[in-house]
Structure 1
Amino acid sequence: MKLRFNSLLFSIVLLAVNASCFGQTKQDSLDVRAAVLDYIESQHTPNPAQMDRALHSRMVKRTFWKDRGTGKEYLRETTPESMVLLAESYNKKKDKFPVVPKKEVRFLDISDRTASIKLIADDWIDYMHLIKLNGSWKIINVLWQYHDSERHQ
């Protein structure tokens, strides 16, 4: 009986320690998801304010690219300012996405202040890092690629 009680007590203490170390809440998960959806949905329906809301001012978005002339591969980077401009103009004609666009948000890891997410969209995959600063979740890093990597040129 005493052994069972000690095991139960140990389990409760362990859960409490884990909760305090990895203290994301249900609201954190909802807020991370909202930031990721702001990012992709701002491109579906042009909305630069929605994109701006999702991104940290020092976010960097990266991918690999191939120069068509030389065939040499290189790292291509995009800034928050470019992403806000993209959100303003990319899908103005409503021809870049299906009527019901794909936006699958997969949580790879989340703690009380950081999160890693995989966003699967119609034509590409984004791996994202988010950070919680001043109570708000923002995208700080994005690494992306087309599903068909031959499109990177």
Structure 2
Amino acid sequence: MTIHTKVLGAIVALTLFHVPVTAQSEEDAAAIEAAAMDYILGFYEGKPERLERALSPELKKLGWGRRASEGPYQGPFYMTRDSAKEFAPGYSANEQLPADAHKKVEILDQLDKIASVRIEAVWGIDYMHMAKIEGEWKIYNVIWQTWPDGVERK
């Protein structure tokens, strides 16, 4: 077998296993990002309806926070969808964030039914798991912490 035949065989084998990006996965990526933004903006704007749209009724959220970078972490703090919706208006009123407050969504992994997402917000970094149920992407799990030492707070 010549090198040319081996290379051609490898290319054919790789193309058999390559799954092209489809319009559906692009639509899913947009829906995943929209759910993550609803999550962030639900707190920033104090709008429980955004959280209602983004969060699964079975949401499990926990995290650790601290006020000063040299202070000890407090927590874990736990939240459900209902407690998140109750918390959001007070958070928004206390923080009074500008419209351009830091927000970043990064899809770490996306399959047809599940996704793993990292978000950055003024409060810190959240990792979330989402699932597509009945055609809608919902956040099921969130684990978070405030900005760690050595990382500029946004």
8 A contact 2:64–2:146 mirrored in 1: no
- For residue 81 of structure 1, what is the amino acid of its counterpart? D
Asked whether 1:50 is paired with 2:50, we answer: yes
> 1:91–1:115: structure 2 CA closer, same or farther, 3 Å change rule?
same
8 A contact 1:59–1:80 mirrored in 2: yes
Asked whether 1:127 is paired with 2:116, we answer: no
Deviation sequence 1:88-122 (CA, Å, 0-9, x none): 332136x4323411111112111111111111112
Corresponding residue for residue 117 of structure 2: 117
In 2: Cα distance, 1:148 partner to 1:2 partner: 53
Asked whether 1:78 is paired with 2:82, we answer: no
Aligned residues: 140
| Superposition map of 1:1-153 within 5 A | 6-16=9-19, 25-64=25-64, 74-92=75-93, 95-148=95-148
In 1: Cα distance, 2:108 partner to 2:143 partner: 14
8 A contact 2:56–2:139 mirrored in 1: yes
In 2: Cα distance, 1:65 partner to 1:119 partner: 16
Identity %: 28
Q: What CA RMSD, in Å, does the superposition of the two structures yield over aligned residues?
A: 2.9
> 1:42–1:65: structure 2 CA closer, same or farther, 3 Å change rule?
closer
Q: TM-score, normalised by structure 1?
A: 0.77
Gaps of 5+ in 1: none
In 2: Cα distance, 1:126 partner to 1:73 partner: 16
- For residue 52 of structure 2, what is the amino acid of its counterpart? D
> 1:65–1:43: structure 2 CA closer, same or farther, 3 Å change rule?
closer
Q: Secondary structure at 1:25's aligned position in 2? A: helix
